Structure 1
Amino acid sequence: MANRFPIILHHRLPILAGVHPNSSISCTQLLKRSKNLSSCRVPRRLVFGIGVSFWAQFMSMAGKSVTTSFIASARTKGAVEQILQNVEWPEQFPFKEEDFQRFDESSDLVFYESPRFVTHIDDPAIAALTKYYKEVFPPSNTPGVALLDMCSSWVSHFPAGYKQERIAGMGLNEEELKANKVLTEYIVQDLNTNPKLPFEDNSFDVITNVVSVDYLTKPIEVFKEMRRILKPGGMAIMSFSNRCFFTKAISIWTSTGDSDHVMIVGAYFHYAGGFEPPQAVDISPNPGRSDPMYIVHSRKQATA
C-alpha cells in the first residue's frame, strides 16, 4: 500500500536572536536553549512554522484526507528507509516562495567570505558517510569516472586515498576549497543566486552534497541542473544531519524534523523530473549518542 504524503506535527522551533551565524547548531540544542532564552525570541515574521498548513496542502493536492497520519521516528533504525517507499506525490509542486525564506537573507558570499574551518557533524557521522561512499562509489581510479562534490568545503568525506581523474568541487570560499586535497578542480559559485551549473550535459557519474541541501533556496532548479549534468544512470547523493547554520537554512527545514527532511529532499528529486524514485537510508552510527546521518539518493533515468 502506498504511503500517503504525511501530516507530521512537530514542536515549532523558536527563532533565536542569540544564535551566532558562525556556529553549527543542532535542533536539539536549539530546543534546550529555548527554555532559557525565551526573552531573546524575535517576532515570527518569517514563516518558520508552516507545519500543519504545509502538510495539509500536500495531502489536499494528492486528494487525500488531511486526517491521515504517517509518523516515522528518525531514531528508529529502518523507519527512515520506509518514508519514501511508494509515496503518492501530489500532481502539482506544493512548495511556496515563503518556504524557502531564511532568517538571514544577506548575501551568502558575504556570510562565507571568511573561511569556516569547522565540521558540521561529529567524527562518527563523518566515518559513517565515508563508509557509505566507499560502498557506492565507482572503484578508485576507474577510467573516465567523474565526481562532483556540490557545496563542498575544506573537509573531504571521500574514502582515504580515493583518487579519480576528475573530482570537481563547488563552494563559496576559495580558501576552504583549496584546503580540500581530494579536489582536482573547484569553482566558487553561489547556487542561490545562480543555480546554473557550469558543466556540460552528461558529465558526472556521481554528485554529492553533504549537510548543505538545507541551504538551497532554489532546490528544484539545482536538482534539474544535477539531472542535466549527470550521465544516464548517474547517482546523486544528498546527505544531511540535524545540524546547520540556523540563520541560513530555509524555513521549511528549520520548522520540521529529521523524518520530514527525508520527505522534503525526496520531493526535490521527484519534482525535478528525470530521476528514478528516490530512496532513503539511515546511516546514523550511534543513534542517540552521536550525530544522526541520513541519505536520500536517486539515479538519473537512462532515458532522461
Structure 2
Amino acid sequence: MAARCSATGACFRAFAAPCARRASAAVHVSSAQQPSSSGGAGGSGRRRGVLQLLAGGAAAGLMGSRSVAAAAAVDEAEQVLLDPQWPEQFPFRPEFFQRYDESSDADFYEQPRFVTHIDDGAIRALTKYYAEVFPASGSKDAALLDMCSSWISHYPEGYTAGRIAGLGMNEAELKRNSVLTEYAVKDLNEDPKLPYEDNSFDVITNAVSVDYLTRPIEVFKEMHRCLKPGGLAVMSFSNRCFPTKAIAMWTSTGDLDHIWIVGSYFHYSVPGGYSAPQAKDIGPTKKGSGDPMYVVFARKQA
C-alpha cells in the first residue's frame, strides 16, 4: 500500500514514477526536480515554501535573512547550521516520514545490489573526509560502526581498527564488505534500537542512507547511547536515492534543506547530548561536475 502525505502527495507521485521503471537503481533528485509551493517560484523561494508547507512555517528559520540558493559558494553548506534558529519543538509531523512505497523494507532490500549509489568523485571525496576524521589506522582500541552498511563502506583503502561493525539490511552485501570485522542485519525502521552496548564506538558513519530513516529521532538517540564520550557521528548524503523509499520530507526539499533536516535530528534527539551539528560540502568544487556530497556531523558531549 502506498502511503501519501496530504501536503506532498502530488510531488511524491511524481518522484515515484521514474523509480517504478528503475526499481533497482538510485536516481538523482536534483534541484530542478523540486516541486514548487504555492507561494514560491524557484530557487531558495521554492525550497523555503516547501519547508514552510511541511513544518507549518516552523522551519522558516532555516533560511533566515540569507539566500541558500543551490548555485553559490561551497561554504554555503556550512552556513545552514551556523544559525539554524531551531524551533522550540521538533517541527516535523509523522506524515513527513511516510514513503511512497510503504511495503516491507526487508523485501525491498532482499536482493543484493553490488553497485555504488554515488559517482567516483563523490566516493573519493567521502573517503578523503573519512581519512581526515577517523582514528589512526591500525589502532586496536578504536571502534567504528558503519550504520546502514552495504558491500562497501567507502572507508580509506587499507583502513583497519580493532573493531569495525557493519549494520545493514542485506547479509550478502555485508559479507562482501572486507573492511568489517563483524556485521549484523537489522531493519532500523522496524526497530531503531542498535544491537550494541553503551559507549561502544569512537565513530558512527551513515553513508547516503539517512534519507530512508522513518524514525530518525529514535535512531539518533541510539547513536548517542552507543557512542563513546566525545565520539563522532557522521551522516553523509548526495542527491541520489531510491525515491519510493526515501521519506516524503526528503524528496520534497533540496540539498541545503537536507542539511537543516539532518542537523535537526542531532539537535532534537538528545537535547544537549550532541555538540552543535555542523555541515560541510565535500563534493566537487565545480558545481555540476558530478554528484554533490555533504556531511553533517556532531560529537557526543553528554
2:78 maps to which residue? 81
Amino acid at match of 2:89: Q
Equivalent-residue separation in structure 1 for 2:293 and 2:262 (angstroms): 14
Q: Say which SS state the counterpart of residue 15 (structure 2) adopts.
A: coil
Aligned CA RMSD, in angstroms, stands at: 2.3
The question of whether the paired residues in 1 share the 8 Å contact of 2:15 and 2:251 is answered with: no
Q: Which runs of 5+ in 2 are unaligned?
A: 1-9, 36-48
1:18 Cα deviation from its structure 2 partner: 3.6
Task: Flag the 1:69–1:107 CA change in 2: closer, same or farther, 3 A.
Answer: farther
Q: Does 1:292 align with 2:273?
A: no
Given the alignment of the two structures, is residue 200 of structure 1 paired with residue 202 of structure 2, yes or no? no
Amino acid at match of 1:292: P
Are the aligned partners of 1:280 and 1:295 in contact in 2 as well (CA < 8 Å)?
A: yes
Secondary structure of 1:221's aligned partner: helix
2:281 is equivalent to residue 279 of structure 1: no
SS at match of 1:143: strand
Matches of residues 262-273 of structure 1 in structure 2 within 5 Å? 262-273=259-270
1:67 is displaced (CA, Å) by 10
Cα contact 2:51–2:57 (8 A) shared by 1: no
CA contact (8 A) 1:12 1:256 kept: no
Measured in 1, the distance between the counterparts of 2:197 and 2:16 equals 42
CA drift at 1:54: 2.5
Summarize the alignment of residues 126-141 of structure 1 with structure 2, pairs less than 5 Å apart: 126-141=123-138
**CA positional deviation for 1:140:** 0.5
In the other structure, the counterpart of 2:246 is: 249
CA distance in 2, matches of 1:160, 1:144: 19
Q: Which residue of 2 aligns with 1:3?
A: none
SS at match of 2:149: coil
In structure 2, the partner of 1:8 is: none
Secondary structure class of the residue paired with 1:292: coil
SS at match of 2:117: coil
* SS of 2:232 mapped into structure 1: strand
Q: Is the 8 A contact 1:75 1:288 kept in 2?
A: no
- Post-superposition offset of 1:68: 5.6
- What percentage of residue pairs aligned between the two structures are identical? 59
TM-score using structure 1 length: 0.84
Which of 90, 94, 102 is the matching residue for 2:87? 90
Deviation at 1:75, TM superposition (A): 3.8
Extract unaligned runs of 5+ from structure 1. Answer: 1-10, 35-48
| 1:238-258 Cα shifts (integer Å, max 9, x gaps) | 000000011000000000000
Structure 1 residues 16 and 204 mapped into 2: Cα distance closer, same or farther (>3 Å)? closer
Residue 22 of structure 1 and its aligned partner are, at CA, apart by 1.1
Q: CA deviation at 1:50?
A: 5.3
Mean CA deviation greater in 190-199 or 78-87? 78-87
Paired with 1:191 and 1:215, the residues of 2 have a C-alpha distance of: 10
Q: 1:218 aligns with which of 191, 215, 237?
A: 215
